[in-house]
Amino acid sequence: MPADRQTLAGCLFAVAAYLFWGAAPLYFKAVAGVAPEQILAHRIVWSLLLLVLLVTLTRRWHGLGGSLAQRRTLLLLSGSTLLISANWFTFIWAIEAGRVLEISLGYYINPLVSVLLGVLFLGERLGRWQWLAVALAAAGVANLALQTAGFPWVSLMLAWTFGFYGLLRKLTPLGAADGLLLETALMAPLALGYLLLLEQQGGGAWGSAGATLDLLLVASGPVTALPLVFFASAARRLSLTVVGFFQYLAPTCHFLLAVLLFGELFTDAHLVTFLCIWGAVVLFSVTSWLRLRRRRLLAESVEEPV
């Protein structure tokens, strides 16, 4: 495929992935009558089944077997499994609790958290303007904590669990779908056991409200796995810098859904905080792009024949 068509396909996959993630609250609102822990368990089980099918169709079982033989990989996957479980549960709980606005804030903050973790654990460096962007985001979070009745723990929980999750996955030699398959496989025995116990006790959601709810619970698999497949397809065709610019589509969708559709309260304190976060995102993105462009120009000038 020509380079321009590869780029176009990559952009379409990226838009599909982040719009899918951005629209996820609509799905979880549709199953809001089910307890968050049950939705999480169904999400794990049905995701595992779909990912098994995908890995079988793409014939990647041999590579997964080699990864399982490495103790370091298993330890990293165990840590990332706990983090993504906490992230998923917080996300589901927040939607059912009517706190989608905090989800939006969390995923706007997340890229800055990921950068900060890169500095702390991977020896990456930031320029002074990028540090200013991080400080501006921190000021926005502090403003919300001081001006409202509660600390924005949902936003910070989502940002930091996904940030640390990304850090561990960066250290794990596995692709997106392969890694999620192993993570869900680690979680599946507990999830399936929990669902079977609930059904035995008569407290399970499966079969309790008709075929529509059952189909919605089965759909938790595609809702989880498909955007990840789209993301992996985009990442293979685009640079991570380009993919990074698309990541703000999801929290923007969350923000619009929270304010325009779900009718969540948007106060002056929220406005100040979001202005700080949006300013930090723009500042960080522009300065990162300029630094990358400078490095490329420098590399090209060095490679030019004398």
- What is the per-residue pLDDT across 222-243, written as a single tens digit (0 to 9) for each? 998 888 888 877 877 776 656 7
Q: What is the pLDDT of residue 240?
A: 60
> In this predicted structure, which of 55-69, 206-220, 250-264 has the lowest mean pLDDT?
55-69
Residue 304 has pLDDT above 70, yes or no: no
Instruction: Please give the residue that has the higher pLDDT: either 231 or 91.
Output: 91
Q: What is the pLDDT of residues 245-285, one digit of tens each?
A: 788 889 999 999 999 999 998 988 889 988 998 998 888 87
Q: How confident is the model at residue 22 (pLDDT cuts 50, 70, 90)?
A: very high
Q: What is the pLDDT of residue 241?
A: 59
Annotate 235-262 with b (16+ C-beta within 10 A) or e (fewer). Answer: bebbeeeebbebbbbbbbbbbebbbeeb
Residue 150 has pLDDT above 80, yes or no: no
Contact 215, 30 (CB under 8 A): no
Instruction: Please give the residue that has the higher pLDDT: either 101 or 55.
Output: 101
Question: Among residues of the chain, what percentage have pLDDT more than 90?
Answer: 34
Q: What is the pLDDT of residue 2?
A: 60
